[in-house]
Chain A
Amino acid sequence: RPILLIHGGAGDITDARVEGKFKGIRDALRAAWKHLEPTGAESSSSALDAVEAAVRSMELNESFNAGYGSCLNTAGAVEMEASLMEGREMRAGCVTLLTDVMHPITVARRLMEKRRHVFLGGQAAQELALSTGSEKLPAGALVTDSARQALREFMEQEAKGLDTTFARTELDDARTDPKGD
């Protein structure tokens, strides 16, 4: 029997974000499950397609810390990473320090399919992304108000000398209306 299991992040998830997480989890499962359903034709990649589809769904959803809605670094920028591994031949693709692409998981799959290297980072990963079909988004397109607020709070804590060793991996909902009302 096929099975699909996903997660949408762990940490101090606030009550305000629970429903968004639940909806995103259900949406991702529904988007991905069709790849695991029997079609009558043997597919050698249905688990791969399902995992990629589930992760892509969550990368699009700002309720999750991936793709659109990612946490920000101290420079206020998004730097993303992803990995994908299959258990039959134990092939894998891993990418890090990606910027301005929506779906790092797809870049990881493209690297895995090249069958040459397992892990690329920085400019090389970026070039792989763009050369294998990922769209380059405008700078800052993945930055959300919640992520900016979380970074402001982090900087304030650091300025006060508070311990930020276990910095947040989950964001609060923006507490001010983004339109300024």
Chain B
Amino acid sequence: TVGAVAMDASGLIVAGTSTGGITGKWPGRIGDTPLLGCGTYADNAVGGVSTTGHGETIMRYNLAQRILGAIQHQGLSAQAAAERECQKMTERIGGTGGAIVIDHKGEVGISWTSRRMAWGYVRDGIIHYGINQNEVFQEPL
């Protein structure tokens, strides 16, 4: 799965996600990616989310919606909300996954419970990227 979330200079937040699903899925299987609130969501008043990982788990947990709910109703930062809801999803259902988040203030959240998640962002002319926990690389845009 791949995904992107952006906020432009006008404050518009957009989220998008695209995938081939999982190996060995039954023909006709639909995952979390095209489901709003699971694989993708955007609301300028709260933020934007794109998720990745085990679709059957993410669908049952409504991961994107729960992350935005944690920001909107509990006042968590984008990072804290992503961390908490990815962890709770895996504790509750068992599958793993991750999410990227930009909240309405333009703050970033990146978290995953899978072994690895590839991610990257651009801000102020610098590319930040990584794939392992607690590891960040940087280079000029």
Contacts and interface: CB of A to CB of B under 8 A. Distances in A.
Contacts of B129: 22, 25-26, 29
Nearest to B139: A26
Contacts of B6: 2-5, 32, 36, 47, 50-51, 54
Interface in B80-125: 94-98, 100-102, 106, 108, 110, 112, 114-124
Contact of A119 (B34, B123, B139): B34
A62 to B, nearest CB: 11
Interface in B23-75: 23-31, 33-36, 39-48, 50, 52-55
B34 A96 contact: yes
A158 B25 CA distance: 12
Interface residues of B, number: 78
Given A10-B114, A94-B35, A166-B95, A3 B16 contact: no
A154 B31 contact: no
A173 to B, nearest CB: 15
Contact of A6 (B4, B30, B94): B4
Contacts of A158: 24
A108 B31 CA distance: 15
A170 B82 CA distance: 21
Contact of A150 (B13, B23, B53, B120): B23
Interface string A60-76: 00001111011111110
Contacts of A164: 24
Interface size grouping (class) on chain A: 35 or more
A121 B9 CA distance: 34
B33 A81 contact: yes
A80 B95 CA distance: 21
B111 to A, nearest CB: 10
B2 A1 contact: no
Contacts of B50: 7
A4 to B, nearest CB: 5
A96 B29 CA distance: 9
B77 to A, nearest CB: 14
Interface of B: 1-10, 12-31, 33-36, 39-48, 50, 52-55, 94-98, 100-102, 106, 108, 110, 112, 114-124, 127, 129, 131, 137, 139, 141
23 contacts: A1-B9, A2-B7, A5-B4, A5-B5, A9-B52, A10-B98, A10-B114, A24-B118, A25-B118, A25-B129, A29-B121, A46-B10, A65-B20, A65-B21, A67-B20, A69-B20, A72-B23, A74-B27, A81-B30, A85-B41, A86-B12, A154-B23, A169-B22
Given A4-B122, A70-B21, 19 more contacts: A3-B106, A5-B102, A8-B120, A11-B96, A18-B116, A26-B127, A43-B8, A44-B12, A47-B8, A55-B16, A66-B1, A70-B20, A74-B24, A77-B27, A81-B33, A92-B42, A94-B34, A94-B35, A105-B16
